[in-house]
Structure 1
Amino acid sequence: MMPSLLAWVLGSAGQLWQPILFDIHKYMAISAVSGVLIAYSAIKYIAIKNTWIKRFPPLHVSILSMALAGMAFGVTGWRASVYSAQALPAELEGKDIQVIGIVAAMPQQSEVGLRFRFAVEQAEIETAVKLPKLIELSWYSGAYRTEANTSVATSAATTMPVPQFELQGKPQTIKPGERWQMTVRLKAIHGNSNPHGFDYELYQWEQGVQATGYVRATANDVPPKKIGDTWKYSIERLRAKVRDAVFERLSFSNSAGATSNNAGVTSNNAGVVAALVTGDQRAIDRADWDIFRATGVAHLMSISGLHITLFAWVAAGVVAWLWRRKSWSSTLCLYFPAPSAGLVGGVLLATAYAAFSGWGVPAQRTILMLVTVSLLKLSGHRWPWYVVWTMACAIVVVVDPWALLQAGFWLSFVAVAVLFATDKQKLATDSQKAVQVESVETFHQAIQHSLQRAQGERHWVFKKLQTLAEKSGALLREQWVITLALTPLTMMLFGQVSVVGLLANLLAIPWVTLVVTPLSLLGAFFAPVWDVAAWSMQVLSVVLTSLSKLPFATFSVAAAPFYLSVLGILGGLLLVLPMAQNRKWQWKLGALGLSLLLPVLLWQAPRPESGQFELLAADIGQGNAVVIRTQNHSLLYDAGPRYSVESDAGHRVLVPLLRAMGERLDMVMLSHRDSDHAGGIKSVLASHPAAQFVSSVESSNELQNIKPDTRCEAGQKWQWDGVDFAVLHPTGKDYNTPQKPNALSCVLRISNKGVSATTDKNGKGSSVLLTADIEQSQELRLLADALDLPESLQSTVLLVPHHGSKTSSSTPFLDAVKPDFGIVQAGYRNRFKHPVPEVMTRYQDRQIRVIDSPHCGAVMWSSSKPKEMRCHRAENQRYWHHQMPELEPNH
């Protein structure tokens, strides 16, 4: 059985590595051939079973395993092909589409409006069109900026874009299960693609969402209209009602959003209570999530597999107790034993609990595991733990192959396997010790009985204390084993581990499981109990906050190569899974495990050689964020945009990226104060407090409160590890006259002069010119300053000014810089339409290769290979990623 189960898992995993899907007919053929081989193996097994041969021959086991792997590969690819065929057609992106459908999930309120999932029933433009079954929509409120397509003169040398705004109607109150008619604009699912970054496109693939967009509600659009109510998504409606009730009860103020989709709520742990009751993780503030992650208790703060499993355990005990009651029926236990009844009842009640929590992917996996384990137990056979574990894993993969790509899947299954295995070893060891000390117990038996008699009535007190001590010791041991075993896996998945996690979990697991969660659930029946739940959570929050502020609270290292990470995971398992009872072998296995684990803990990412440097232009949407690395130093140029009040490019992209790269920034240069460049600066500086801060931000700007800065001025120069850095703009005089932010953009040039390994055909070294949002007037200034030394502007790589806006990249400037590559950091289908076609034509006419982040993802370049530009999206392509056509000048 084990080879067959593992074969299915491996076959599914193999299909997930495909960069592009085969034609669906190939998957059908693979499935058909595999089915024939499985049938052949089944016939052979039946024939052999009826003979004196008791074991299935190895050849047939191999055939069956390969057939199951092929079947898993074919079926998974088949399912992926069918699902991909339902994606949004490219020709419908950006079009106004009339849709009728049902609100399919709890709406999420933010400072800019509503966000919700919508199950499409009908769609048309002029005639009917086919849309994905499930889309995600935003309904903005107030003035919504669309595009800056005109300009007015502000001086003889500069022009100021005039933003275009559309006044959106205030979002109406919507509820799950309601049928609505509205006008929407859609686009394909497209997320940022960065090394070690979150795969947003995979996440939406797992959720079944195949397009995102927004509701058109301006004066020129047909107003959104509620058509009626439906019985569908009734559980979601109930969840929304309970969530809003939590926030209404626990809010400090009855603001407009406090009772509607939790908008603008400032509450005392209301988000945690709402998450524990309804499974809505978005209800928890980002600051709270940061504390939970730093202390390693994030898994407790929403309905997770742990909560559902414990709920099933308690429910099974209650059902079994009720089943045994004679007042119900003394004959029930004869037909169906109480333990079995409890098992079935516990799983059913846990399924209902998981459905109320939103039936998310982790909840579905947990229910599948519980059902599998329960069925195996009800079969009447005693199964080895590893068979039960592998069967549960295989069943989950059969239903959801893409679970193999989720961190929660591996953390859950590895933790369960470790607990199973270590408990078994403990029992074996305890049994052996019991035999060895039998004679000693006999020798001291009389004394022991005498002591017990002397204790008299107090004996039960000591017994209870002893039991409590044993259980406490077992809990401590299990938490230590789990922490040690999961450390390398956690580092592989997240790049850091919580040093205080062991202590935090010892306090938080019983407190949240036995106090906060039950009180939160009881509040659904009697609202005042939520006050007690919030207070109990506040008590824990004080402790967790103190632990998270410790300087050693977390430990992070650079992301090691995959093979080293796998060996590190094996090393962690060897440390906690002694495979021999002989103490000598235990020490040897421990030493082997430590030797496999240390390379992961001590890994240092490769750095450029002396005189060389590397560039990484992160994929952060509409904005700039560029990392420059030399042999011993690193610099971040701009920090990307702010996405919302609680989310920015620094927190979401740059801090995890720099952590995975093992970087400690020496300098952060903020080119200017526009939000698409400065949105993530606070998060970056908080994570790298020792970094020097250089900017062009005026002294009165609030950004100056983050950290005292050094003003960037033309003429500033320094050298790191044989690499030269020079600020070319702005001059000191530019700060003395009123300027718009773009005109004060810090322009930085990085070069390694004439290093022999990277010299071009003219004998010059490689260089990069970072220009931020300068416009044509600043480009002319740079040309004038470089009249005496034209080479000071020439660069191998140019960060395209102002994201490819028509106000920049003038012909004289491009002729002077003469770049081989141009990098455009812009958002997918951004409202400014950057880079604009006329600018692209200028680059193409000069045979300058332009790479933009929507097509390329993160852009990587090295001075040691100046003619090679690498794209993270191409190097890590998977079939669920958005496939875009090549960038054309007239795009």
Structure 2
Amino acid sequence: MHTAASPIAATPVAESQEPGSGTTLAPWAMLGFVVGSAAQLSQAVLWPAHGYLALMLVGVAIQAGVVRWAGGIVVARYAGAMLALCLVGFAIVGWRASLRDVLPAEFEGKDVVVTGTVASLPTQFDRGVRFRFQVDTAHLDGRPVTLPTMIDLAWYATGQGQHPTAVRPSTTWTWCVRLKAPHGAVNPLGEDEELRWWQAGVRARGYVRQGRNDPPPQYLGESWRHPVERLRGMVRQRILHRLGDMPSARIAAALVVGDQSLIDREDWDAFRATGVSHLMSISGVHVTMFAWMAALLVGSLWRRSPWLCLRWSAPVAAQIGGLVLAAAYALFSGWAVPAQRTVLMLCTVVLLRLLGRSWPWPMVWLGTLTVVVAADPWVLRQAGFWLSFVAVAMLFATRQHGDPAATLLQRTRALVREQGVVTLTLSPLTLVWFGQCSLVGLLANLLAIPWVTLLVTPLAMVGVVVEPAWNVCAMALDLLTGTLHAMAQWPMASLTVARAPTWVGAVAVCAGGWMAMRLPWHWRALGVAPLLPVLLWQAPRPPMGEFELLAADVGQGSAVLVRTAHHALLYDAGPRYGTDFDAGQRVLVPLLHALGERLDRIVLSHADSDHTGGAVAITQMQPQAVVLSSADALPGVAATMLRCQAGQRWHWDGVDFEMLAPTASEYATTAKPNARSCVLRIATGQHSALLTGDIEARQEALLAQRIPPLRSTVLLVPHHGGASSSSMGFVQAVQPRIALVQAGYRNRFGHPVPAVVARYAQAGATVRNTALCGALTWRSADPDAEQCQRETNRRYWHHRPGGAGIPP
């Protein structure tokens, strides 16, 4: 498991007494810098740039005062150095963030003609390609405007003009685009997409316009910029052409050029279940192994020249050469964050060696961590960062000095023990970050690590020069992936639990580290108890007689999780945007895993894909759930489907559930999916929620006549706030306190339309749109305290849209 995180361990620094006096300030200063950088990432709103500069001066002044006035007071020197660098770290990160450009709000939704260069490998999806584009010039209505330098574009295949596959890295184009700010889904315990775009420097996202009145895309030629991306694209094409339909062709290409989008979702699922996903992307293992092999090669060649050896010793040349070649490999493979982190680690270790410094491992570890954070402070929000550094720390803390005379059996036992240490230490972290850990990970990694690092990766790289090596590489990958898929199907291959709070995970990591230390077993056993909370954690549930609604942020679609004290229901399954993307596998499955939720029922209101798009993924994950729907059948949904119909009732934990529509006569008289939406009412003695699907004005009127009173505390606004629904009579009949709209940001339908928003506001309702507030949580036990995820978990890199009605 995650031994990709051990590049330092692979390049040890001699351990001796800490250099200098026992009162050195360096570790405290480094720790302060890291703590300050981490603290800045909790800011909801950035200060002006001059505020951070002022804070930086305060930090420098404190450090100067400590040096001058603390004298021999050791505690004061330590505390002062830590405080000073904490302020400096906070200020530097904030100042860097304040310099980032943003897309002006007035340019959103406008057609802008841009000229620039394709700056990344295009990623293929079923409807076209997506790529990064470096903007040189931009014009709006014929006048020049300023846009962010880096934007993310999609080019959809329309059958007209040039095809998106014509896009290649380092080519120059002019096209008409429609942009919006980077706006991702914000859900509890979900991936922070907007942070990922922030780190990548993407400040706007959009698509190439190809309407009848839009200027067609114009290819302008090749560019000298981004030559590495161009080379990666050429190598990727060569690999895929060479290997053709071989099962592991795309995995081999991903290992060479670092394009993880090439790996199918089924393969990723198997890699995660067996704990080897870190080996299937360019990570620390690959970069470190490449550096080691490069150092051996450079050192061997260097020793052949007496002239070179007289000017520079072979060991020094080997270290520098291995580092330079490893950096080149990381750059060629896409310069992903794990590769960047590893190169920076190796730089730190090599620099210490060249300077003749012999630091103990805690100083080396803290020094490399500080360098990585200084280069990219936002990695502190990434799981991979912590998995890497925790694994390295434990390998350092528990390792024994190698015995050159050790037998093969002894070396094998040492390798197994190291992998066991990493597995035991990182399992609590993976459970906290992902809610899942592999129970076969130890065995899978013992097989996969040497296979990938010593056979697959070298063959993949040799193939760049000798193409037949790629065929051998693909055959080796076929054997490995077949084995991993088989292991992933073993009973209890992986463990899935509810995600515990971070502090529970931190305690569990310390407990796992304690158990991995070389101590008597009766002492190690003390670590068992602190591990239990992360394994047994349960997400808080509503009390008896109450219920909770969680309206997920799924874009232009509907998905509401209803929870009582011991039961759960999912109303709709969100949209499907293509064969490789749906809200089920992207949002809802991770959310249900994180909450440790077991669904009793799934209601799919009607057949439209924005309500049933994630149904296949959900029913595969929750095969025990009973499915109610007005749709006769849904492709790929294996569960038995029952028809929802007015009059169906059930009672869970003191909460009443009743299906209000459609009636039998409505099934007989209309075939329109919207008109046959399942309408569900959930009620306690005092509060209720009405979930309406996409019913339209006629069904609203029939419902208001048939079910008096219809009044509800929370209303899922029909048809996402479209003009064909939310008639005045229906709004007055329901009189909701909260009118909940599930819609996509700047969706092409213009939902919710301003007239509908005004209608609810006039009736005294608070309109909450998931496009603006992210996932919304409402509890009947506390009806006046709904929570918007964008508000409760706000960070400065999150987009701040404004207005209830967002035009397309």
TM-score by length of 1: 0.85
Q: Deviations over 1:801-835 (max 9, x none)?
A: 00000000111111111111111010000000100
2:116 is equivalent to residue 101 of structure 1: yes
2:158 is equivalent to residue 226 of structure 1: no
| 1:534-545 alignment, distance < 5 Å | 534-545=474-485
2:260 is equivalent to residue 285 of structure 1: no
1:210 aligned partner:
203
Across the aligned residues of Structure 1 and Structure 2, the Cα RMSD in angstroms comes to 1.9
Q: Deviations over 1:552-588 (max 9, x none)?
A: 111121121232222112211111134xx6x3xx633
**Cα distance, 1:737–1:550 mapped onto 2, change above 3 Å:** farther
Contact 2:717 2:740 in 1 (8 A): yes
- Of the three residues 359, 374, 394, the one matched with 1:418 is 394
Contact 1:35 1:71 in 2 (8 A): yes
| 1:385-784 alignment, distance < 5 Å | 385-423=361-399, 426-427=400-401, 467-578=407-518, 583=520, 587-588=522-523, 590-699=524-633, 701-703=634-636, 706-752=638-684, 754=685, 765-784=686-705
Contact 1:488 1:597 in 2 (8 A): yes
Report the Cα distance in structure 1 between the residues aligned to 2:83 and 2:575, rounded to whole angstroms: 49
- Of the three residues 741, 764, 776, the one matched with 1:859 is 776
- Of the three residues 20, 33, 37, the one matched with 1:8 is 33
Highest relative contact order (Cα 8 Å, sep 6+), 1 or 2? 2
CA-CA distance at 1:612 after TM superposition: 0.8
**Paired residue type of 1:845:** Q
2:744 aligned partner:
827
2:17 aligned partner:
none
Indicate the larger mover: 187-196 or 60-69. 60-69
1:805 aligned partner:
722
Q: Deviations over 1:395-414 (max 9, x none)?
A: 11111111111111111111
1:235 aligned partner:
228
1:760 aligned partner:
none
1:375 aligned partner:
351
Secondary structure at the aligned position of 1:702 is classed as coil
Contact 1:168 1:216 in 2 (8 A): no
Contact 1:568 1:596 in 2 (8 A): yes
1:150 aligned partner:
none
2:803 is equivalent to residue 879 of structure 1: no
Secondary structure at the aligned position of 1:76 is classed as helix
2:53 aligned partner:
28
Indicate the larger mover: 523-532 or 404-413. 523-532
CA-CA distance at 1:333 after TM superposition: 3.3
Contact 2:189 2:591 in 1 (8 A): yes
CA-CA distance at 1:40 after TM superposition: 4.6
**Paired residue type of 1:843:** Y
Report the Cα distance in structure 2 between the residues aligned to 1:873 and 1:575, rounded to whole angstroms: 39
Indicate the larger mover: 21-30 or 800-809. 21-30
CA-CA distance at 1:706 after TM superposition: 2.0
CA-CA distance at 1:591 after TM superposition: 3.3
**Paired residue type of 2:111:** D
Contact 2:129 2:165 in 1 (8 A): no
Secondary structure at the aligned position of 1:102 is classed as strand
2:315 aligned partner:
339
TM-score by length of 2: 0.94
2:787 is equivalent to residue 870 of structure 1: yes
- Of the three residues 69, 74, 77, the one matched with 1:57 is 74
**Paired residue type of 1:389:** W
2:21 is equivalent to residue 88 of structure 1: no
Secondary structure at the aligned position of 1:308 is classed as helix
**Cα distance, 1:867–1:381 mapped onto 2, change above 3 Å:** closer
Contact 2:425 2:509 in 1 (8 A): yes
Report the Cα distance in structure 1 between the residues aligned to 2:249 and 2:194, rounded to whole angstroms: 30
1:182 aligned partner:
175
Report the Cα distance in structure 1 between the residues aligned to 2:110 and 2:550, rounded to whole angstroms: 34
Contact 2:753 2:805 in 1 (8 A): no
CA-CA distance at 1:890 after TM superposition: 9.5
**Cα distance, 1:137–1:890 mapped onto 2, change above 3 Å:** closer
Structure 2: runs of 5+ lacking an equivalent? 1-25
Q: Deviations over 1:449-485 (max 9, x none)?
A: xxxxxxxxxxxxxx99x72211211111111110000
Q: Deviations over 1:476-512 (max 9, x none)?
A: 1111110000011111111111111111111111111
Q: Deviations over 1:165-184 (max 9, x none)?
A: xx786336122111211111
Contact 2:600 2:625 in 1 (8 A): yes
Secondary structure at the aligned position of 1:668 is classed as strand
- Of the three residues 79, 84, 92, the one matched with 1:75 is 92
CA-CA distance at 1:886 after TM superposition: 4.3
CA-CA distance at 1:43 after TM superposition: 6.2
Report the Cα distance in structure 2 between the residues aligned to 1:110 and 1:884, rounded to whole angstroms: 28
Secondary structure at the aligned position of 1:142 is classed as coil
Identity %: 50
Contact 2:750 2:806 in 1 (8 A): no
CA-CA distance at 1:887 after TM superposition: 2.5
CA-CA distance at 1:733 after TM superposition: 3.1
CA-CA distance at 1:775 after TM superposition: 0.8
Report the Cα distance in structure 2 between the residues aligned to 1:735 and 1:550, rounded to whole angstroms: 45
2:776 is equivalent to residue 841 of structure 1: no
Report the Cα distance in structure 2 between the residues aligned to 1:91 and 1:168, rounded to whole angstroms: 30
2:189 aligned partner:
196
Report the Cα distance in structure 1 between the residues aligned to 2:154 and 2:807, rounded to whole angstroms: 29
Secondary structure at the aligned position of 2:143 is classed as coil
Contact 2:125 2:580 in 1 (8 A): no
Secondary structure at the aligned position of 1:359 is classed as coil
**Paired residue type of 1:130:** T
CA-CA distance at 1:16 after TM superposition: 0.6
CA-CA distance at 1:641 after TM superposition: 0.8
Report the Cα distance in structure 1 between the residues aligned to 2:609 and 2:466, rounded to whole angstroms: 45
Report the Cα distance in structure 1 between the residues aligned to 2:669 and 2:152, rounded to whole angstroms: 46
1:133 aligned partner:
149
Q: Deviations over 1:404-462 (max 9, x none)?
A: 11111111111111111110xx44xx99xxxxxxxxxxxxxxxxxxxxxxxxxxxxxxx
Aligned residue pairs total: 782
Report the Cα distance in structure 1 between the residues aligned to 2:69 and 2:134, rounded to whole angstroms: 48
Report the Cα distance in structure 1 between the residues aligned to 2:162 and 2:68, rounded to whole angstroms: 67
Q: Deviations over 1:258-316 (max 9, x none)?
A: xxxxxxxxx51122101100000011111111111111110001211210011101111
Structure 1: runs of 5+ lacking an equivalent? 49-54, 144-166, 253-266, 432-462, 755-764
Contact 2:575 2:583 in 1 (8 A): yes
Secondary structure at the aligned position of 2:740 is classed as strand
Contact 1:102 1:180 in 2 (8 A): yes
Secondary structure at the aligned position of 2:175 is classed as strand
Which structure has the bigger radius of gyration? Answer: 1
Q: Deviations over 1:55-113 (max 9, x none)?
A: 77332332222111111111110000011xx1000000011111111110111122211
Indicate the larger mover: 642-651 or 230-239. 642-651
